[in-house]
Amino acid sequence: MAAANSQERNTSNADSPGSNMVETLKQLLVRYGTQLLKPCDSTEELLELLHNLHCVLIHTLHDHKDRVQLALQSSKEALIANELIRHTERDVRISVASCISEIVRITAPDEPYKEDQMK
């Protein structure tokens, strides 16, 4: 009987609100990361996209690190692209740095980028 109760709890944990939240975060991370890999029509559009990504990142807990690792890939790649990290607009560079900072927080103590990627 105890084993059955344990299995029920494990099954219900997979469908828990926390699990749904992580799935939503993963979907948003993929969406915004993929959008960042494509050129934006305007600086305002880019800033809005970076703001949206930052909002998702600040709600991603360090405890979710292993579950969101793959979903972070496109964002990590886009954020270190020269088009973003060396953007002419100061606000874009600040937003990019804020997003990278959140990714570092989420993935700590692992390094999200290799040394040569950050040069």
CA distances from 15 to 9, 22, 28 (A): 10, 11, 19
User: To the nearest whole percent, how much of the chain has pLDDT over 90?
Assistant: 68
Local confidence band at 8 (pLDDT 50, 70, 90 cut-offs) = very low
Closest CA to 82 of 51, 117, 53: 117
| Residue 12, pLDDT score | 39
Phi/psi at 111 (5° precision):
-85, 125
- Domain borders along the chain are 22-118
CA–CA gap between residue 57 and residue 29 (Å, rounded): 8
pLDDT digits (tens, 9 = 90+) for 50-61: 999 999 999 999
